[in-house]
Structure 1
Amino acid sequence: MDAKTRFAKRITSLPPYLFARIDEKKREALSRGVDLINLGIGDPDTPTLSPIVESAKIAVTRPEHHQYPSYEGMLSFRKAVADWYRRRFGVTLDPATEVVGLIGSKEGIGHLPLAFVDPGDVVLIPEPGYPVYHAGTLFAGGESYFMPILEQNGFMPDLDRIPEAVYRRTKIMFLNYPNNPTGALATDAFFEKAIGLAARYGFILAHDAAYSEIYYDGKAPKSFLSYPGAKEVGIEFHSLSKTYNMTGWRVGFAVGNPSVLSGLLKVKSNLDSGIFQALQEASITALELPDSDLDALRSLYQVRRDVLVPGLNRVGLRAFAPGASFYLWAAIPKGMTSEQASLALLEKTGIVATPGNGFGPSGEGYVRFALTVGPDRLKEAVERIRTQRLFGA
């Protein structure tokens, strides 16, 4: 590569995107004719709910939707988000100032540091965690300070272990509950402490709640914004991707503090042109669906979780039953790395799982499974592992 096409330092400092590496390994296995059971990337295997699809079919024929949309999203879409938050969480939002539409929550998460982080500023990032928190920080020239989320702490960062000097340089703290990759939920006391720290040190608390609607045993997670003082210090990201099986539609939103959303909107208005309005119309339909439609999806994942957790525990892994999300975090036997375990699963059983260290060093010793195939295939996956005795059981 000559000097003109040499990548910028911000690109060369990025680790390879985890799921791109997994796709490469999958392609190699498929080329060998392997019957893959893909429990890697969290992409729902059931179609988008039919009322949403029908709404999109109608909306796409309307000429007014064929022009540039507004950057922040149609007011009708933002009102639907605010109505959903009131029904679901008891949180009151002003659709005009406290809701911004996103081209998927990933886009907003990646853009937020560009609005607030200067070189030398710190961003607190849960680790293991979603890689975009770190990537967005690097793009903004900020410094990532990783907060380990460890099993012994219930997969919550120990906020008391972060030095005061780091807090004083912090511009943003990212949190993510229900958690990817562990499936853990945070306690009320944890959120209250994080909000207090954000208020004390003047940083933004950005909560990624993309998995709040995939929960188990009827125990619905709270919104971060339902806690006192939350809206004064931060925002919450959400996505229709997992909740309504709309991963490919790329519709999400951020809600909460108007000043923080205003900064995010300034970045967005310079880098994108908003969500296609026909998709916003379909998303309004999604947000207005009765909760019984989502109960059916939750029941589907409940069956899958209750098949895979005990199955993995029988074959030598130590699997944690997620409180929410469609991810399952499992500890592997000592003497084997996460990468070795994932490669053995792929090469010897045709099962795609994600190595835990791909989400950060504290993920070493774990693998992540996504509950994105039916119970029969999950039982088959367990049987393949048992037959090969990969983990000694």
Structure 2
Amino acid sequence: MNHNLTHLHPYPFAKMATLLASSSPAANYSEIKLGIGEPKHAPPAFVLDELKENLDKICLYPTTKGIFELRQTIAHWLEKRFFLHHVDANTEVLPVMGTREAIFSFAQAVVDHKDTEANKENITEAGTENPQTGSAKHNPTIVMPNPFYQIYEGAAILAQATPYFVPCTRDNVFKGDYRAVPREVWERTQLLFVCSPNNPTGSMMTMDDWELVIRLSDQYGFIIASDECYSELYFDTAPIGLLQACTTLGRNSFKNCVVFHSLSKRSNLPGLRSGFVAGDATILQSYLQYRTYQGCAMPIPHQLASIVAWRDEKHVVQNRALYQEKFALWMAELGGLLQLRMPEAGFYFWVKVPEQFDCDDEIFVKALYEQANIHALAGRYLSREVNGKNPGQGYVRIALVASVEESREAISRIRKLLNA
């Protein structure tokens, strides 16, 4: 077996299961799940109809590159949504089976071990609690936010690269301070993962933020991979995407820049496993070759259903309105009792744990479960300790995925818990 598997952390939900193993949920309440970021809004009926009408095409082998009509639809969507001059559907767009799989495989494809012997001595650094100190000149490094979507870390470890964590704290508006990353880290960095809007903090990259990381990429030669899966769940202002920033800076070739998008959050279709990667044509050409060997191709019925989803914006507007209603409800009803920070986008609250629970995220999520039968996620499970500090400790992630009615019930229970 691959020895790097032993360096992987259990997934956050596995850690939650361990934490709650000896606990029992409040028997007088029905279960409300606010821990997992799985959309619960109804998927668009017209997308499901398109899927059903094309089930007979399941007998056909799909190509890794996907059908041209899907790539063209995605290219047009990108141009309109992010004000891009032109996206080449043949070279700058690649459909994928959901962004989680693509983010993982992308790291495997792009990490280059220039000096194998130098890396052998440092490979165990990736599995430690504080993997900030890999020192070999050629030791490949992948930089990522902290807290983070754990697939970034797992992808780095199994690509035999060292994760370097950039803390996202209240002091840097939960976005991470890339200016504070040491030069020696950037010199060995091959890939930077950025998540905007961020999971779990809800912060967004500004044009100045994008320009900074693009200039760093130019200086040190690393690839920027922007996870933009929450880009369509905004409130007032649509988030700026990485490719949009490139165009604004006159970089129409998207050099060393790729973005990941999905229909999971945008269209409430997590089970369709439909997303795409877009950007630098040279990088995507090599990544396509990797994926051809990997054997990942989206079934044709899924591709045809995806086309109609990407072409329609009305259901996305309705989806945003539902989240806006729930956020407004939570802020109005609990904003005076909990330190609720309104996110810039996404569907998460990144909640500071109240002092009455010793500011301890594990204690708070256990209380929510045992006294209110509400599932939330301890923030420390979404982050890593670096230099003695875990930026997720003392926070809880609450996903506003439940219905408005369930949200009202959850708020009522939490009010009782906080006032007890």
For normalisation by structure 2, the TM-score amounts to: 0.86
Note closer, same or farther for the CA distance 1:33–1:253 as it changes in structure 2 (3 Å cut).
Answer: farther
Which among 199, 218, 222 is matched to residue 240 of structure 2?
222
- 1:128 aligns to what? 147
- 2:62 aligns to what? 69
Asked if 1:343 corresponds to 2:363, the answer is no
Note closer, same or farther for the CA distance 1:114–1:216 as it changes in structure 2 (3 Å cut).
Answer: same
Higher mean C-alpha deviation, range 242-251 or range 305-314: 305-314
| Distance in structure 2 (CA, Å) of the matches to 1:145 and 1:319 | 29
**1:23, CA displacement in angstroms?**
5.9
CA contact (8 A) 1:69 1:273 kept: no
- 2:354 aligns to what? 333
Q: Which runs of structure 2 are paired with 1:122-271 in the superposition (5 Å)?
A: 122-217=141-236, 219-227=237-245, 228=249, 229=251, 231-271=254-294
For normalisation by structure 1, the TM-score amounts to: 0.92
Percent of pairs identical after alignment?
A: 32
- Write the deviation string for residues 215-272 of structure 1: whole angstroms up to 9, x where unpaired: 113x111221011237112100000111011101101100000122123223222222
Asked if 1:306 corresponds to 2:328, the answer is yes
| Distance in structure 1 (CA, Å) of the matches to 2:189 and 2:156 | 12
Higher mean C-alpha deviation, range 177-186 or range 329-338: 329-338
Asked if 1:297 corresponds to 2:319, the answer is yes
Match for 2:227: what amino acid? Answer: D
Asked if 1:82 corresponds to 2:75, the answer is yes
- 1:16 aligns to what? 10
| Distance in structure 1 (CA, Å) of the matches to 2:61 and 2:17 | 34
CA contact (8 A) 1:351 1:381 kept: yes
CA contact (8 A) 1:68 1:273 kept: no
Which among 38, 49, 57 is matched to residue 54 of structure 1?
49
**1:344, CA displacement in angstroms?**
1.2
Task: Give unmatched runs, 5+ long, in structure 2.
Answer: 114-118, 120-138, 384-389
- Write the deviation string for residues 191-222 of structure 1: whole angstroms up to 9, x where unpaired: 110111001100000000000001113x1112
Task: Give unmatched runs, 5+ long, in structure 1.
Answer: 1-6
- 1:3 aligns to what? none
- Write the deviation string for residues 142-196 of structure 1: whole angstroms up to 9, x where unpaired: 0000011111111111111111011000000000111100111121111110111
3-state secondary structure, aligned to 1:372: coil
**1:115, CA displacement in angstroms?**
1.1
| Distance in structure 2 (CA, Å) of the matches to 1:269 and 1:144 | 27
CA contact (8 A) 2:26 2:371 kept: no
CA contact (8 A) 2:26 2:369 kept: no
| Distance in structure 2 (CA, Å) of the matches to 1:273 and 1:301 | 33
3-state secondary structure, aligned to 2:95: strand
Match for 2:97: what amino acid? Answer: I
Higher mean C-alpha deviation, range 24-33 or range 337-346: 24-33
| Distance in structure 2 (CA, Å) of the matches to 1:323 and 1:222 | 12
**1:25, CA displacement in angstroms?**
7.0
CA contact (8 A) 1:354 1:367 kept: yes
Note closer, same or farther for the CA distance 1:56–1:29 as it changes in structure 2 (3 Å cut).
Answer: farther
**1:29, CA displacement in angstroms?**
5.0
- 1:4 aligns to what? none
RMSD between superposed Cα atoms in Å: 2.0
Note closer, same or farther for the CA distance 1:81–1:24 as it changes in structure 2 (3 Å cut).
Answer: farther
| Distance in structure 2 (CA, Å) of the matches to 1:197 and 1:71 | 32
| Distance in structure 2 (CA, Å) of the matches to 1:203 and 1:356 | 29
- 2:340 aligns to what? 319
Which among 72, 78, 93 is matched to residue 99 of structure 1?
93
Asked if 1:109 corresponds to 2:98, the answer is no
3-state secondary structure, aligned to 1:73: coil
Runs of 4+ in 1 over 3 A off after TM superposition: 20-34
Aligned residues: 380
| Distance in structure 1 (CA, Å) of the matches to 2:399 and 2:345 | 12
Higher mean C-alpha deviation, range 240-249 or range 327-336: 327-336
| Distance in structure 2 (CA, Å) of the matches to 1:267 and 1:337 | 44
Higher mean C-alpha deviation, range 306-315 or range 318-327: 306-315
CA contact (8 A) 1:174 1:208 kept: yes
Match for 1:321: what amino acid? Answer: M
